[in-house]
Amino acid sequence: EVVQLANALTKKWNLARSVKLQIDSLAFSVSQRTAELRDANERLQANIVSRAADRLPAYSRDDLEATLRQKEEFLAIMSHEILTPMNELVRKVQLLLDSPLSPGQREHATTLQRCAQDLLSLINDMHVFMASGRQET
């Protein structure tokens, strides 16, 4: 019986180690692919600016850069306008989750919390992306 238990635990630990290695491998792949996509996006952005400059010779490079800055400012303002109510939503959902709820209500509130956190994460990623673009120019 002890040998069976030891064998079962060993199998469980080996399986857990295998799963962790797979997760680590997937996380590395995702990180690597994200970096590749970021690089591709930067190349595409540079290509767009270059093609726009070629097609619209009446516009100066300064005009194009000013337009890009205006776009970034607009996105920053819009993300801030979304971020403020999203933070309030997250706070209210947490208050809701801290109150007595039926299992169904708790499930809905938890889903709402997860979705709000995902949106906040997306907005924060957008801020980081915009900040990294400003530092390179």
Q: pLDDT digits over 89-109, tens only?
A: 899 999 999 999 999 999 999
Per-residue model confidence as pLDDT tens digits over 57-91: 566 778 888 888 888 788 778 777 888 888 888 99
Rounded to whole angstroms, how far apart are CA atoms 116 and 32? 27
The answer to whether 83 and 122 have CB atoms below 8 angstroms apart is: no
The answer to whether 73 and 110 have CB atoms below 8 angstroms apart is: no
Amino acid 102: pLDDT = 94
> Would the pTM of this model clear 0.85, i.e. be above it?
no
pLDDT confidence band for 56 (50 / 70 / 90): low
Determine the distance from the C-alpha atom of residue 72 to the mean position of all C-alpha atoms in its chain, rounded to a whole number. 18
Query: Which whole-number Å values give the CA distances from 27 to 20, 21, 114, in the listed order?
Result: 10, 10, 20
Rounded to whole angstroms, how far apart are CA atoms 133 and 19? 36
CATH tag, 59-137: 1.10.287.130
